[in-house]
Amino acid sequence: MADIIEKTVSDLRLEKRFAERLEHPERVIEFTFPLKRDDGATIFLMGWRSQYNSALGPYKGGIRYHPAVNRDEVILLSKLMTFKNSLAGIPYGGSKGGIAFNPKEFSRAELERISRQYVRELYRFIGPDVDIPAPDVNTTAEMMAWMVDEYNILTGKKEYATFTGKPVEFNGLKGRDEATGRGAYFVMLEAFARHKIPKSAKIAIQGFGNVGMNLARILYENGYMVVAVSDSKGGIYCKDGINVSKVMALKSEGKGVQDYATNENANVKLITNEGLIESECDVLVPAALDNQIRKDNAAKVKAKYIFEAANNPTTAEADAILNERGVVVYPDILVNCGGVSGSYIEWVQNREGRIYTYEQVVKELEGVMKRAFSLVASEKDKDNKISYREAAYRASIRRLAAAMQYQF
C-alpha cells in the first residue's frame, strides 16, 4: 500500500510529509490477558488496537476474533479504514482491533468474558469522541452489547455511542446488520449503470457471511442472477442462477451452502473457494478474507468486473495483472464503506438521542454511497489512464490532506 500512497501524493502534487504521515499509525496498543476457561484451565490471549489516523475525527474501526490476527494485520486494516472513512465523507479517522484466537472453539460464556476483558484493557483509549469500535470478522452485535455494557460499568456513564453495530434493542440501528452488503449493492448499481452491465450478468460472490449473504440476498430480490456463492467449507455454481433464499434457509439450519446441491438442483456444481474466484462469471465479488486474488490466480479470473466487498482481497501483484488484462476493479475502500457509513448513522442516533426508521437508514446509506461513487468516478473521468483504485485513493487523500495541513 505504500506505493499507492506515495504515487497518489505525488500525482496530486502534495508535499511528501503527507505520505510519510500516512505510512505510520499514531498509536498501537498491544496487550496480553489471562482467560479462565469453563473447565478451570487458564490460557493467555493477545489483543491489539491500532489507532491509525485522526485527522478527520475520532478513530473508527472494527474488532475481529480470528487465529490469524496480529499486529501487522490490524495496522494495515486501520490504514484501510482511514482511507475508507475519508472517501465516505464521514467525520472519522481509522482504527482496527482484534484478538488472536478461534472463537468457534470457545463457549458463549467464555466469549463474553473475552469481550468484556478486551474493553477493560482498552477503555481508557476509546469513547464516542476518541475511538468507536464495531463488529468485524467473527464478532457480533451481542458482543458489542457486552462491550458497551462493560464500558458503561467502568466509566460510570451511559455512552452507547462508544460502540456501533449493537443490537437494535440495545440502542442499535435498524438495518446496521446489512449495511455493508447494501452499501456494496448501491455501488454496484452505480457501476452497472456506468458500464451498461445488464441484469442478466452472471454474479459470483465469495463469502456467505454477513456481507456476502446480505449482498447476495439483495441482488437476488432485485432480479439479478447470482450464479455462485461460497462459505468457509466450499461453494456452489449454477450457470442458470441460484435461489439465494433457499441457500439462506439452509444456513439458518446450521448447514453449508454446498447442501444446496441436491437431486432437486441437479445442475448445481460443487466448487472450492479458489474455484469460485476462477468461475465463469461476469461480475466477481470477493466478500470473505484478504488476499484471495493473488499473483498465482489473477490471470485465471474470468470476470470482467470485480467489486471488493472484503477488506484487501486483492494483492498488489494481482491488481497489476488485472489492470493489464483490462479487468475493472472497484476497490474495497469504496465498495465496503457501507458498514462504517451505517455505523456513523448509528453513532449520530446515539449522540442525538433519536431513532431512525429502517427506511431512513436505507435512504441515508444510499446517499453516502452515491456521493462516494461520484467522487471516484469524477477522479477517473479527470484521468482515464488511472484505475478505479487509484481514483478512489486520490479522492480519499485529497480530503485527508486538506485536514492534515492544519495539524503538522
Q: Which residues are catalytic?
A: 96
**Number of other CB atoms surrounding residue 406 within 10 Å:** 7
Task: Determine which helix (DSSP H) or strand (DSSP E) holds 351, and give its type and residue range.
Answer: helix 338-352
The SS3 call for residue 392 is: helix
Nearest-angstrom CA–CA distance, 285 and 299: 16
The SS3 call for residue 355 is: coil
Question: Can you read off the three cell numbers belonging to residue 167?
Answer: 443490537
Contacts of 109-116 with CB under 8 Å at 24 or more apart are: 109/38, 110/35, 110/37, 110/38, 111/65, 111/143, 112/143, 112/146, 113/35, 113/36, 114/35, 114/45, 114/65, 115/139, 115/143, 115/146, 115/147, 115/150, 116/146, 116/147, 116/149, 116/150
Q: Identify the CA nearest to 340 among candidates 74, 95, 1, 47.
A: 95
Nearest-angstrom CA–CA distance, 93 and 78: 9
- The half-sphere exposure of 386 on its side-chain side, counting CA atoms within 13 A, is 22
Nearest-angstrom CA–CA distance, 64 and 16: 33
Q: Identify the CA nearest to 81 among candidates 8, 130, 37, 133.
A: 133
Task: Determine which helix (DSSP H) or strand (DSSP E) holds 52, and give its type and residue range.
Answer: strand 42-53
Residue for cell digits 446450521? 254
Q: What type of residue sits at position 362?
A: V
Residue for cell digits 464516542? 128
Nearest-angstrom CA–CA distance, 136 and 134: 7
